[in-house]
Amino acid sequence: MSFRYESLPVLQEQLRKQELSCREVVEHYVRQCHDHRHLNAMLEVFEEDALIQADRLDEKLRNDLPLGKLYGMVIAVKDVIVMKGKEATASSAILQGFESLFNATCIDRLLAEDAIIIGRTNCDEFAMGSSNETSIHGPVLNAADETKVPGGSSGGSAVAVQADLCMASLGTDTGGSIRQPASLTGTVGFKPTYGRISRYGLIAYASSFDQCGTFTRNAVDAAMLTEVMAGQDPHDATSSSQPVPDYAALLEPPAKLRIAWYPQTIDNGKLDPEVKQQFHDLLEKLKAAGHTVESVDFTYLDYLVPTYYVLTTAEASSNLSRFSGIHYGHRTEVTADVDEVISRSRSEGFGEEVKRRIMLGTFVLSSGYYDAYYTHAQKVRRIIRNETLDVLSRFDIIITPTTPTTAFAIGEKTTDPIEMYLADIYTVQAPIAGIPAISVPLHTHSNGLPYGMQLMAAPFREDLLLAVTDHLMQHFR
């Protein structure tokens, strides 16, 4: 069977006409996963479960039973989102062998709408990283150039879509972990508003930032997936009760958009000159198409990454304190008293980057420094949010490049954490402010690698981001 995936509406049409079956589709993806094992994107392929689900769906169609909204969609899931009866490791040694007793809410919602889960994807350990190099399972290779990183932390999910190992995948985004790898792999990476999708069943990194989102090939698939996963959940008190619109029916953007851009992001020594030129060209094209495009001062750029790292490490140091080696996960072989067992299990089980962040977070929360760092960063977060919302009260969209460069070489930044953290310079603003953002794959660099442009919008304007993404991909690529 020769099969090329375009979008979910097209696939569902083909399935309904019985031009192909869910079983054939799943068999295709299982083969793809097998043939691309060297990319290290998939940690586990659920061949048997996926085929059972496929047969069940084919049966439903034959019997003319009602079909779910995501009927036939083959999805891979980042290894920080738990699935019942499946291992969930957060790519960490400390969780090796841990099996979840329940499904994350987003997984239950996908399955209830007839999606097919094909497997679990590699990521940075506890979603901490920008290159997928901190995973205990080893790095993921970028399918556009296998000597390059795919970005992180959701690198496996990005490559799973890039290399056609699935139709769409789930990631989590705390500071850019969906949008940055989406940019480096030429996929659509969408992080909804904080609280739009339940965090129940996500292995927490920084709870006031974490949000589940999607990698897709196009806007319509992101729209359909988000609609299914979004909405209030009694298991997550921070999930929003705002009604969830039918995003896929709202893919037409307003004829005249008001678009803001920050000169500070562009006059930045770290920005690749070619990305900068493309960004300016895109602004000119948008103006020529009749949109309002204005530069707006944003003087807080230099504060974004420090604010992000003070607050997220503080939250991580608390969230990760539950991994003690006592109840589950890795436990040291050494027999000793309970404190010693916990301390050794944690020393053995956590990787270097995770330890660095736990120590940093513990430091900024320590009694002598709490006000100087943590309280201070909370205040700066509020200022950044207010400033961002102020711009978004006057403009529909803020546009920036998603990443300052295209994918970098494996190993290039591993010895310099600060350099690595700066890869997030454009993506941390949205989670600091709690707003939705998307990376749109618009360009290919002369070095042959893809990169994206980022759009941000006001809270709960997912509809607008998806509509503009659809428009840009059709007319500005």
Nearer to ligand GLN, 24 or 419 (CB): 419
**137-166 positions binding ligand GLN, by CB under 6 A:** 152-153
Cα 265–267–268 angle (5° rounding)? 70
431: its two tokens: 């989670």
Maximum alpha-carbon separation in the chain: 71
Q: Confirm or reject binding of residue 315 to ligand GLN (CB under 6 A).
A: no
* Least distance from ligand GLN to the Cβ atom of residue 173, Å: 5
Q: Which stretch binds ligand GLN (CB under 6 A): 9-17, 170-178, 267-275, 374-382?
A: 170-178
- Tell me the chain's radius of gyration from C-alpha atoms: 21
- Cα gap 111→283, rounded to integer Å: 41
Q: Confirm or reject binding of residue 424 to ligand GLN (CB under 6 A).
A: yes
Burial group, residue 237, by CB count within 10 angstroms (0-12, 13-18, 19+): exposed
Q: Confirm or reject binding of residue 400 to ligand GLN (CB under 6 A).
A: no
* Least distance from ligand GLN to the Cβ atom of residue 455, Å: 17
Q: Confirm or reject binding of residue 247 to ligand GLN (CB under 6 A).
A: no
Q: Which stretch binds ligand GLN (CB under 6 A): 104-112, 173-181, 275-283, 289-297?
A: 173-181
315: its two tokens: 């939250």
* Residue from the set 174, 265, 317, 469 that interacts with ligand GLN by CB under 6 A: 174
Nearer to ligand GLN, 33 or 310 (CB): 310
State the residue number with the nearest CB to ligand GLN.
177
**271-300 positions binding ligand GLN, by CB under 6 A:** none
Q: Which stretch binds ligand GLN (CB under 6 A): 36-44, 171-179, 217-225, 372-380?
A: 171-179
* Residue from the set 53, 177, 345, 439 that interacts with ligand GLN by CB under 6 A: 177
- Cα gap 224→113, rounded to integer Å: 11
Instruction: Choose the catalytic residue: 21, 92, 135, 153.
Output: 153
* Least distance from ligand GLN to the Cβ atom of residue 180, Å: 6
Q: Which stretch binds ligand GLN (CB under 6 A): 169-177, 291-299, 373-381, 465-473?
A: 169-177
Q: Confirm or reject binding of residue 205 to ligand GLN (CB under 6 A).
A: yes
**106-135 positions binding ligand GLN, by CB under 6 A:** 127-130
Structural contact between residues 77 and 169, judged by C-beta atoms closer than 8 angstroms = yes
Instruction: Choose the catalytic residue: 91, 131, 169, 177.
Output: 177
Nearer to ligand GLN, 73 or 202 (CB): 202
**Closest of 395, 297, 186, 272 to residue 280, by C-alpha:** 272
Nearer to ligand GLN, 28 or 179 (CB): 179
Nearer to ligand GLN, 153 or 193 (CB): 153
* Least distance from ligand GLN to the Cβ atom of residue 171, Å: 9
* Residue from the set 79, 125, 133, 173 that interacts with ligand GLN by CB under 6 A: 173
Nearer to ligand GLN, 72 or 351 (CB): 351
* Least distance from ligand GLN to the Cβ atom of residue 137, Å: 17
Phi, psi of 216 (to 5 degrees): -145, 180
Residues 41-60: x where in contact with ligand GLN by CB under 6 A, - otherwise, as a string: --------------------
Q: Does 153 qualify as catalytic in the annotation?
A: yes
Nearer to ligand GLN, 199 or 471 (CB): 199
Structural contact between residues 171 and 213, judged by C-beta atoms closer than 8 angstroms = yes
Burial group, residue 126, by CB count within 10 angstroms (0-12, 13-18, 19+): buried
Nearer to ligand GLN, 21 or 180 (CB): 180
* Least distance from ligand GLN to the Cβ atom of residue 203, Å: 11
Phi, psi of 176 (to 5 degrees): 140, 5
Nearer to ligand GLN, 130 or 405 (CB): 130
* Residue from the set 176, 189, 361, 434 that interacts with ligand GLN by CB under 6 A: 176
Q: Does 69 qualify as catalytic in the annotation?
A: no
How many residues in the shown chain lie near ligand GLN by CB under 6 A? 13
By the criterion CB under 6 A, which residues form the site for ligand GLN?
127-130, 152-153, 173-177, 205, 424
Residues serving a catalytic function are 78, 153, 177
